Chain A
Amino acid sequence: MPKLSYLKALNRALADEMERDDSVFVMGEDMNFALTNTTAGFRQRFGPSRVLEMPLSEQGFTNFATGAAMAGRRPVVEFQIPFLLLLVFEQITNQANKFRLMSGGRASVPVTYLMPAAGVRSAWGAQHSDQPYSLFAHMGVKTVVPATPRDAYGLLLTAIRDDDPVVVFGPLDCLGLREDLDYAELVPIPLGEGRVHRSGTDVTVVAVGHLVQSALAVAEELGEQAVSVEVFDPRTIYPFDWAGLAESVGRTGRLVVFDDGNKFSGLAAEILATAAEELTLLAPPRRVTRPEAAMVGANPGLDAGLIPTTDQLREAIQRVLK
């Protein structure tokens, strides 16, 4: 079976969808040379009007995508650096995502915002290292963080086909991930459906993005010590698969969240709050996240104190099992 990388899966999903649907086009910076490699080969294959080069005007071209979408296109807007999503946060959350509501359902803004290198880029600086998926969820924007090549393909496809704005985060540490699969298995994956990567009976670990692989490694290791860890990947951050989480926690009764976002008011906080309100837990749940406040991002030594680690996850699992 062919081995498909995560980055190649994004490339393939986008190309397949552009082939299938003429209304889909991709736009962003350095498109002519496919700087991020997400659109490698596209310029020659689809031409400049469907691989639209943009100047450094992120707010402008995010609004441009909104306009094109209202006029019937399905733009995919690529951003190279996570903070650019903060620069266009207003255009996505307060404009694109509200026009349907503000028009009583008459406007449709089917834009996909693709961030194919999200998270810490070691030593690239504090301004290149954020992981702002929780912010979009907080504002009610559909948000996905696929963890595997297969999910990256299927969720990007669904995001493009969705009639609302969707933000797709591809964590940097996932891009090189490879998966053996048959291309026929590449299918759309519905938004809002989590995935149990590994079944277990003692504790549910909710892991997001690149942390799924780390969580699986810890689960294997603890399995040898007779601790049965279930790894639940929500895949979609918003709308969240609360039913899937309830089912998993129903089996295990214990919960740890492993999230690369900031701690305060982050995704992990929301999951813990919902679990406390609605689920029956045998022990207080825990979370392993970035700390509060800003990343250094400029120094691998310092960053080690800011990135959630497998040691912290192991410790959190052991604490909820006490």
Chain B
Amino acid sequence: MTSTEQRSALYRTIRLIRRFEERAMGLVASGDIVSGIHPCIGQEAVAAGAAAALGPDDVMLSTHRGHGHFLAKGSDPGQLLAELLGRDNGVSRGRGGSFHPSDFSRNIYTATGTVGHSAAIAAGIAWTAQQDGTGQVVLCFFGDGAVSQGALLEGLNLAGIFSLPVVYLCENNRYATTLPAEYAIAGSVPGRAAAFGLPSEVVDGQDVEQVLAATGRAVARARSGAGPSVLQVDTYRYFGHHTFEQKVRLKYRSDEELAYWRGRDPLRIAGDRLSEPTRAAIEAEVEQALEQAVQFALAGDRLTAAAAQDHTFSGGTRPRPGVAGDA
């Protein structure tokens, strides 16, 4: 049973992610966020439920569609938004951007752009935790597009042979950019898990409480030393792969399909479990938090060419300059 307090917290996270993404899409439209973003609207319950199953010391690896993961793990919305804006007060000092941020204060180590490659990075982190007996679990997010990457399968194998404390969470939003999962995947995600001797579950990703329960089981298993497992969490993104689709309007999904998933809105499903006043109070608080976040982010310093090679290496080693060769 989920308490009202837990339900409120889960709803708050979903609401925060939804409104964060909406504000971010506004800042894309206004030209402030130059990169565009990969909005996770429609998928918020996956991040919210999965992160709620973790402790603060547990490690998370995110993806290019990762803002929800960060917010759910407790990243500061202002610093995250500043990162999207490429400002120096961003969570990665403006060098990760929307696509590849990290937040070491929340144990989110990376959102690597090489799809599926986080699986073995997660195994390496989990192996270290296992060796040191820290009790940490690593939650590794990836999408349905990643499950045909060899490197992901190598990661599952490594996690399997060392029986590592990892939870592999496939956020199945049914499309790798434009490519439907049913075209791309021979067999299935549970089938891939079974091939490596790993248990798996298929989960309704629109219902945050089901995501929390399933991830909780996988995390408990990992923490107990029983090894890795795989979750296929079914969900849907309400917008394009990337905000450039706001302009190009690629038609790879039917209106009926979109309407079906709109009808299974994770925000509404979680919100319906709360009383109207509770919901309204959370919404007001989230609006206030986001207003502060936007102000904080927009007040950050813009980065300039002079800082382009900062942080390339440790210990003050600097690469030779290129264009400004005489510097």
Contacts and interface: CB of A to CB of B under 8 A. Distances in A.
Given A57-B154, A107-B102, A102 B95 contact: yes
Nearest to B90: A104
Interface string B308-319: 001111110101
Given A59-B151, A106-B92, A164-B314, A70 B158 contact: no
Which of A59, A75, A163, A192 is packed against the most chain B CB atoms within 10 Å?
A59
A67 B121 contact: yes
Given A57-B158, A60-B120, A100 B102 contact: no
Contact of A70 (B92, B109, B319): B109
A73 interface: yes
A68 B128 contact: yes
A102 B319 contact: no
Interface residues of B, number: 46
A188 interface: no
Nearest to B112: A95
Contact of A63 (B90, B95, B121, B310): B121
A108 interface: yes
B236 interface: no
Given A70-B121, A103-B92, A106-B102, A61 B311 contact: no
Interface in B109-142: 109-110, 112-114, 117-129, 131
B124 A66 contact: yes
A105 B310 contact: yes
Contacts of B158: 54-55, 57, 60-61, 64
Contacts of A162: 314-315
B312 A140 contact: yes
Contact of B102 (A60, A65, A103): A103
Nearest to B317: A239
A69 interface: yes
B311 A64 contact: no
B94 interface: yes
A90 B114 contact: yes
A297 B42 CA distance: 55
Nearest to A90: B114
A55 B110 contact: no
B190 interface: no
B252 interface: no
Contact of A64 (B96, B100, B123, B312): B123
Contact of B110 (A61, A70, A91): A70
A59 B123 CA distance: 13
Interface in A46-84: 49, 54-55, 57, 59-73, 75
Contacts of B150: 59
Contacts of B119: 60, 63
18 contacts: A61-B154, A64-B120, A67-B124, A67-B125, A71-B125, A91-B114, A99-B102, A100-B312, A102-B95, A103-B93, A103-B311, A104-B94, A104-B311, A105-B311, A106-B93, A108-B314, A163-B315, A164-B317
Given A64-B127, A103-B95, 12 more contacts: A59-B150, A60-B120, A60-B154, A63-B123, A63-B151, A65-B124, A66-B124, A67-B128, A99-B112, A102-B92, A105-B310, A191-B317
Interface of A: 49, 54-55, 57, 59-73, 75, 90-91, 94-95, 99-108, 140, 142, 162-164, 191-192, 239, 242, 277
